[in-house]
Structure 1
Amino acid sequence: MAIATSAKRPALGKGLDALLPPKPGTAPAAPSSNVGKIEASAAEANAGTPLQIPLQRIEPNPFQTRTTFEEGALTELANSIAATGVVQPITVRSLPNGQFQLIAGERRWLASKQAGKETIPAVVIKASDAQTMEMTIVENLQRADLNPMEQARAFERLGRDFHLTQEQMASRTGKDRASIGNFLRLLRLPPEAQEQLEAGTITFGHAKALMALETPEQILSAMRKVNALSLSVRATETYVKRLLSPEAKLGKAAAEEEQIDPNVKDAQDSIQRRVGLRTRIEDKKGKGRVIIEYRSLEDFDRLLELLGQ
């Protein structure tokens, strides 16, 4: 069976697509009968044509921005590859030592090894270190399974190593420019907060809310309370707003206190002195409720003792 070849691709400088592998369906993977000795020069001469390359001749990508792979999903992919093979070829470049270096498709490469495959369909292209790094970063950012910190570091690398503006990053990756700005802001989080975001202990929404605080100490203190109370993103936003404007909170409390009937206020103060806990009486025309706040189980036990329980 003949292997379909794709049209010659333009060089870098005419768009990143010039170096990306063909989409599924445009160039089917080579059959296993094509497995054999693959020379780098011959592979590059057939650029765009998927070739079956031995897995042991492929080296990992040193520019990879992904740091974690979900084991369950990787095993599922390995099972699928064991049954039906690799649907979309990976992309590699040839190295001077006769080996090949992975550019795109690390999950397929890892899953193929896990599935016990000896070869994998791959498109061989010519690419410099700089081109390989850019392709790797952009290819990863176009995926949906990077955690927020991996995305933040990838965008930071595009700006640092390739001097791309946020607008250019948005054009290259298809992301919204405002979203890119939010990801880059994550790098200002304290290391402990970055670790918890990467581990999934807090979400991107929690992190955005916490970043409104001014100092690392404030962020970490608030984050620990968010975790301890299992606050939602909305509750975290409200909590942070209160931290940022305590004057408004105190002003509201003072205004409410001024509206309390003097007799109710005296009773409220009397109970508060008696139990040693913050007390509020909400009274409306002789009906209402008494609210006694406690901050620990010890406070609660002492309150029960005072009530004769």
Structure 2
Amino acid sequence: MVKNRFGIGRGVDALFSKVDSSFFAKLSIEQVSPNPYQPRTNFNKSELKELSESIKQYGIIQPLTVRKIADNKYQLISGERRYKASKMAGLRTLPVYIKQAEDNEMLELALIENIQREDLDPIEIGISYKTLIEELKITQEKLSEKIGKKRSTISNYIRLLQLHPIIQAGLRDFILTIGHAKPLLSLINQDKQLEIYNIIVTNSLSVRETEEIIKENNEPLYLSNKKKTNKLSSNLLSIQENLADLFEANVKIKSLKNGNRKVEIHFMSEKKLHEFIENIKL
């Protein structure tokens, strides 16, 4: 049952006293369920505890955004951190803004709002981009238009999901930077990625030192390309990189003895190959 008034937090009470809108309400916390599309999966426990203590003292200053999914049942669109902290604080009611949204629209609203946050880690951002593309059935180009990010930026974040799971965990915990991770993506073998990752962490290598140690390894694709294509021109190397971003795959351009060029595309999975075939309508 939606309640019109209850005493929780001076900031929210002031808001409700000034705004007469059917979209604002106060709900029992049992009526609200988490957002299944929440991109943020790492919640710092000490920060949640601090927020919980603040909520106990001052209440919730900013209402959570929810949508109605059934009679007396609502689902979060945004505000997961405040929701978790409120439960920790023992609150029984929540101030909310009720928004009309279908599943796809909710996914888009939730993810686009959350990926604008500064506290998401690189893997959470990559998962958010990938989920939006797959669930909304849009291209990277369309997504770039929606969120105002370059397509290459979106592609680079999604590619981070190809790293060994332990390296992804290192990115989430900010043990290494994206600058360290990007050269690691040139290694096909995830075990080799992990081997280099352990060297990076153990020796506190800089990004430049990481690039150097990978250059000494024979498995990076971009290195083998340079060796096997008789030093591709800067223009061809740029084309090779752009194709890799476009197809989300490892791409090699080779020079043949007769002077012709050959393009090889190495897909990470059969699913990616089928997606590529579908996109070009073969």
Give your verdict on TM over 0.5.
Answer: yes
Whether the 8 Å contact between 1:59 and 1:100 is mirrored in structure 2 is: yes
Q: Secondary structure at the match of 1:92?
A: strand
Partner Cα separation in structure 2 for residue 162 and residue 55 of structure 1: 30
Whether the 8 Å contact between 1:54 and 1:120 is mirrored in structure 2 is: yes
Equivalence for 2:103: 129
Q: Secondary structure at the match of 1:231?
A: coil
CA-CA distance at 1:145 after TM superposition: 1.3
210, 229, 237: which one aligns with 2:211: 237
Partner Cα separation in structure 1 for residue 146 and residue 60 of structure 2: 27
Percent identity between the two aligned chains? 36
Partner Cα separation in structure 1 for residue 114 and residue 174 of structure 2: 19
CA-CA distance at 1:28 after TM superposition: 6.1
Q: Secondary structure at the match of 2:112?
A: helix
CA-CA distance at 1:142 after TM superposition: 0.9
Alpha-carbon spacing, 1:84–1:198, altered in 2? closer, same or farther (3 Å): same
114, 124, 142: which one aligns with 2:116: 142
The root-mean-square deviation of aligned C-alpha atoms, in Å, is 2.9
Q: What is the CA deviation profile of residues 202-236 of structure 1, one whole-angstrom value per residue up to 9, with x for unaligned ones?
A: 32221112112333233222112112222122321
1:203 counterpart = 2:189: no
Partner Cα separation in structure 2 for residue 237 and residue 140 of structure 1: 32
CA-CA distance at 1:91 after TM superposition: 0.8
Q: Secondary structure at the match of 1:161?
A: helix
Equivalent positions of 1:1-309 (< 5 A) are 29-30=15-16, 46-47=22-23, 50-243=24-217
Partner Cα separation in structure 1 for residue 157 and residue 194 of structure 2: 19
Q: Secondary structure at the match of 1:206?
A: helix
Whether the 8 Å contact between 1:30 and 1:121 is mirrored in structure 2 is: no
Partner Cα separation in structure 2 for residue 128 and residue 28 of structure 1: 30
Alpha-carbon spacing, 1:106–1:195, altered in 2? closer, same or farther (3 Å): same
Letter in 2 for 1:62: P
CA-CA distance at 1:73 after TM superposition: 1.7
CA-CA distance at 1:122 after TM superposition: 0.5
Partner Cα separation in structure 1 for residue 100 and residue 14 of structure 2: 20
Partner Cα separation in structure 1 for residue 127 and residue 137 of structure 2: 14
CA-CA distance at 1:118 after TM superposition: 2.4
Letter in 2 for 1:149: I
Q: Secondary structure at the match of 2:15?
A: coil
* Number of residues of Structure 1 aligned to a counterpart in Structure 2: 210
Whether the 8 Å contact between 2:107 and 2:132 is mirrored in structure 1 is: no
Unpaired segments of 5 or more residues in structure 1? 4-24, 35-44, 249-309
Partner Cα separation in structure 1 for residue 101 and residue 119 of structure 2: 26
CA-CA distance at 1:58 after TM superposition: 0.9
Partner Cα separation in structure 2 for residue 125 and residue 71 of structure 1: 29
Q: What is the CA deviation profile of residues 169-220 of structure 1, one whole-angstrom value per residue up to 9, with x for unaligned ones?
A: 2333343433212101112212332233233333222111211233323322
Letter in 2 for 1:29: L
Partner Cα separation in structure 1 for residue 14 and residue 113 of structure 2: 20
Partner Cα separation in structure 2 for residue 205 and residue 72 of structure 1: 28
Alpha-carbon spacing, 1:75–1:174, altered in 2? closer, same or farther (3 Å): farther
Partner Cα separation in structure 1 for residue 108 and residue 50 of structure 2: 29
